[in-house]
Amino acid sequence: MRFANSQSLFRRAAAVIPGGIYGHTTPAATIPGSVPYFAASGSGCRYTDVDGNTFIDFMGGYGPMILGYHHPEVEAAATAARQLGAAFNHPTSLLVELAEKLTQRIDFADWSVFAKNGADLTNWSLMVAREVTQRPKILKIRGAYHGTAAWCTPGHGGLIPSDRADILEFPFNDIPALEALFNFHRNQVAGLILTPFHHPAFADSVLPTPEFVAACNRLCRDHGALQILDDVRCGFRLSADGSHSVFGYTPDLAVYCKALANGHPLSACVGRTPHKAAASRVFLTGSYWGDPAPMAAALATLDIIARDNIPARLTALGERFVTGFLALGEKHHTPLVASGPPAMPYVRVADDPSFLRTQALCAAAIAQGVFLHPHHNWFISAAMTEADIADALARLDRALASLRP
């Protein structure tokens, strides 16, 4: 498999873009030299890079493509809305329909707002929690990703001390640490923000213990702090009505994004009636946020997710994939470790603290036409069939064989 065009384009990119490719799609975060750097087109659960290599895609654009590239119903809805126009002086009726849809779908949701990035609304949710409580401090999980704003970016550049003066971190699933923070900062905590399960980069995924979920619910309630569920990555993949229902969280605010509109740029934050007036006092806007096409895509995507029970489908496909992958690891004497829910699995080589063997495995998978990320959870696509999973496993069998000394 050759990546000559990717590498040539990257040299052009490096001349006119800091780092060549920035953010989560930078080759530096994957396996430079062994991965494509630029995509050309996608269809269903496969995409083709600029060298003509085609991959069975287990990343789906890092989450958005839950139904696969070019889902005909979603694209038809988005295209019809695009015919109406783009940025107007007013929203369209799709804003109302989508807010109604989310409040009907999500049990605790009484209202909704929409933006483009997940981070637009994780940032806003902190301000809403502060406006509701008139308190400054936010509790957050160490290593959790909520965007690239200064209060939460995983990067190190450009930060100043005041950025995180009121952000307090603790480890996922650590009830005593959470309890200690609430007690030490009594009447100062505006909110707790967390993802439904912990899916850090460069580490295994961790599901919440039932005791941790109960503690989050109890402590937020007892201390009068808002529970903010960052469901950007998981939302509508684990359950058609939001991931809180899977684990038993009782959020006050929840943010959705990636799977919401099958690749069209849209995010949503939902909340409860007691916080609606405060939410209306936290100014929120963007030039393109009324754009009807992504809202039409979201209405179609949400309907399909419920109609076709997509979360169950993703789970079944993911279980088949992970089980098969682990069995192949045993066959080839390369012990593998799986973590995360089957719909969003992560598999790495055991006893691999440097990730070098996991990188080699993913590079071999990519060489066989299966796109896997060595340091980030994966995403099963509803466009996959059992035959696609079997195809992927057959390729991974060859990939594992190629790794033998």
Which positions from 144 through 173 interact with its own copies, judged by CB under 8 A?
148-150, 153-162, 165-166
The answer to whether 291 contacts its own copies (rule: CB under 8 A) is yes
Within the chain, what is the greatest distance between any pair of CA atoms?
64
The answer to whether 287 contacts its own copies (rule: CB under 8 A) is yes
State the minimum distance, in angstroms, from the CB of residue 5 to its own copies. Answer: 9
The DSSP annotation for 168-217 comes to: EEE-TT-HHHHHHHHHHTTTTEEEEEE-SSB--TTS--BPPPHHHHHHHH
Q: Which of residues 92-111 bind its own copies (CB under 8 A)?
A: 92-93, 95-96, 99-100, 102-103, 110-111
The answer to whether 4 contacts its own copies (rule: CB under 8 A) is no
SS3 114: strand
The answer to whether 276 contacts its own copies (rule: CB under 8 A) is yes
State the minimum distance, in angstroms, from the CB of residue 385 to its own copies. Answer: 19
Start-end of H helices in 224-375:
244-247, 276-280, 292-307, 310-331, 356-367
Q: Which of residues 211-240 bind its own copies (CB under 8 A)?
A: 232
Distances (CA, A) of 166 to 130, 162, 284: 11, 8, 21
Q: How far apart are CA 366 and CA 47, in angstroms?
A: 12
Q: For the window 179-198, what string marks contact with its own copies as x by the rule CB under 8 A?
A: --------------------
Q: Which of residues 304-343 bind its own copies (CB under 8 A)?
A: none
The answer to whether 277 contacts its own copies (rule: CB under 8 A) is yes
Single out the residue of 57, 230, 241, 252 in contact with its own copies (rule: CB under 8 A). Answer: 57
The answer to whether 141 contacts its own copies (rule: CB under 8 A) is no
SS3 82: helix
Q: How far apart are CA 76 and CA 156, in angstroms?
A: 42
State the minimum distance, in angstroms, from the CB of residue 271 to its own copies. Answer: 8
Number of residues near its own copies (by CB under 8 A): 112
Give the up-direction half-sphere exposure of residue 384: CA atoms within 13 A in the CB hemisphere: 31
The answer to whether 260 touches 236, Cβ cutoff 8 Å, is: yes
Phi-psi region of 150 (alpha: psi -120 to 50; beta: other; left: phi over 0): alpha
Q: For the window 16-45, what string marks contact with its own copies as x by the rule CB under 8 A?
A: xxxx-xxxxx----------xxxxxxxx--
Of the ranges 85-93, 220-228, 354-362, 382-390, which one interacts with its own copies (CB under 8 A)? 85-93
